[in-house]
Amino acid sequence: MKNNKDLPAIYFFSNSGIVIIFSYLVLLLQKKGISETEIGLLAAVFSFFLMISNTIFGRMSDVVGRRPFLLIGLVTSSITTVAYILPDTIWTFAIVRIFNGISIGIFPASIIGTASDKNIKVGRLTAFGSIGWAVGGLVGGFVGEYYNLKIAFIVGGFFYFVAFLIVFLLDTGSKNTKSGIETAIVKPDYVRVIRQNWTIYLAFILRHGTANAIWIFWALFLIDELGINLRQLGIVQATNMGTQFIIMGLIGDKYNPKKMFVLGGFVSSIAFWSFTIMSGFPQIVISQVILGTSWTFFYLGALRSVEANGKKDNSVATGTGLLGACQSISMLIGPFLAIIFYEISKTYTLSMKFSAIVTTITTLLFFLWEYIFTRDGIKK
């Protein structure tokens, strides 16, 4: 546990693997003749099981310890990511999506919990996750463009397996520690953790839920409506994540997390609306800088707030696991909104306008609650 370089590497490789799924699975499904509605339903199935997994294994990481869930989660994520190359029907894809959702939800809270145990700054850690997304997006795009889209999923599984080997060989997460001193493992209370963080969780679900109505068909929007190719899609993803890496590394741990959260919400609204006026590859790349900036402030603001609350009663993994569950709920809401908006307009931009409006309102309400009502004693 003395080595503080293992977690950034684990976060890097695990995020390199997951971006393959989020960026290129929709294209593989389309090639297999899966309709937009069915793609949305498959995403909802994945998100439901990811939500359950995040909720259960986050708390279990606090109760049992970090290492078992790092090992099991990463190796099963590797296997289930490669498994996407096998199905040919919506039902077989659904089976893989279920097991992949469970697998990917097992380990993230254990990574953040271990980082908190070792006093590693989460802003610095998540910066490595973002650069992992950038690298994975680029590699997946180039492999899909010049070789075969299925090979990209084999590469994604390989990234997860490398992360597994790092955990296995370096004994990462073997004990819950704080400043190098072993501490008692407690049994956190879900209700107490939710009470501590409910405003963050609710605002996160609303903003990210509407945003996921965009991401479900994001690759199709870029390719079908803007006319970019797979290589350019990889560059678009890498620009977003590269922006996150730079900002997270420079200022991610320096500012008040709730103020970062509010700023991230308002900038997210600008980013979502900007997508609706883009007409080609250069403009969408510029919009990704705005998006990367907004997500950095929004996500890090939420994560650092939840982590700070969790340190008060040794419930960091439970709190961050529930934040992951909120992310999964958002991914569950998103597909249904995407299907509705697509059926209404037969374009991908209506969901973008809706996301911008909802995010603005949600962020404003969060700001009023946290900085006006509570300070004036109205809530208290």
Please give the structure tokens belonging to residue 67.
């290492």
38, containing H or E segment: helix 36-64
**Which pLDDT does position 4 carry in this prediction?**
63
Q: Which residues pair with 181 in a beta bridge?
A: 178
How far apart (Å, rounded) are the C-alpha atoms in residues 251 and 240? Answer: 17
Global pTM reads 0.80
In one-letter notation, the amino acid at residue 77 is: S
User: Which pLDDT belongs to residue 79?
Assistant: 97
pLDDT 10s digits, 300-337: 999 999 988 888 877 888 888 899 889 888 888 888 88
Residues near 132 by beta carbon (within 8 Å), at least 6 away in sequence: 11, 12, 13, 14, 15, 16, 19, 159, 241
| CB neighbour list of residue 380: distance below 8 Å, 6 or more residues apart | 374
Domain 6-173+186-373 fold: Growth Hormone; Chain: A; (1.20.1250)
Nearest to 323 by CA among 111, 135, 160, 177: 111
Residue 182 DSSP symbol:
E
Tell me the C-alpha distance between 131 and 115, whole Å: 18
Looking at the DSSP assignment, which residues form a beta bridge with residue 46?
Answer: none
E-strand spans in 141-283? 177-178, 181-182
Measure the CA–CA gap between 348 and 338, rounded to whole angstroms. Answer: 8
| pLDDT value at residue 302 | 93
H or E element in which residue 181 lies = strand 181-182
> How many CA atoms lie within 13 Å of 243's alpha carbon, on the beta-carbon side?
18
What is the bridge-based pairing of β-strands 177-178 and 181-182? antiparallel
Give the position of tokens 């180039």: 142
CA dist., res. 29 & res. 149, Å (int): 11
Residue found under tokens 């463009």 = 145
**Local structure of residue 5 (DSSP, 8 states):** S
d(CA 99, CA 76): 8
Tell me the C-alpha to C-alpha distance, in Å, between residue 111 and each of 15, 76, 251, 296: 12, 16, 21, 18
Tokens coding 334: 């998103």
**Could you tell me the residue ranges of all domains in the chain?**
6-173+186-373
Instruction: Please tell me the predicted confidence (pLDDT) of residue 1.
Output: 39
C-alpha–C-alpha distance, residues 125 and 112, integer Å = 9
Give the containing element (helix H, strand E) for 177: strand 177-178
CA dihedral sign, ordered 124, 129, 132, 137: negative
d(CA 376, CA 380): 8
- Reading the block at residue 370, the tokens are 């946290």
The label of the residue with tokens 């080609």 reads 280
Low-confidence ranges of the chain (pLDDT < 50): 1-2, 177-184, 376-380
Task: Measure the CA dihedral 329/82/299/163, to 10°.
Answer: 130
- Yes or no: say if 325 and 54 are a contact pair by the CB < 8 Å rule: yes
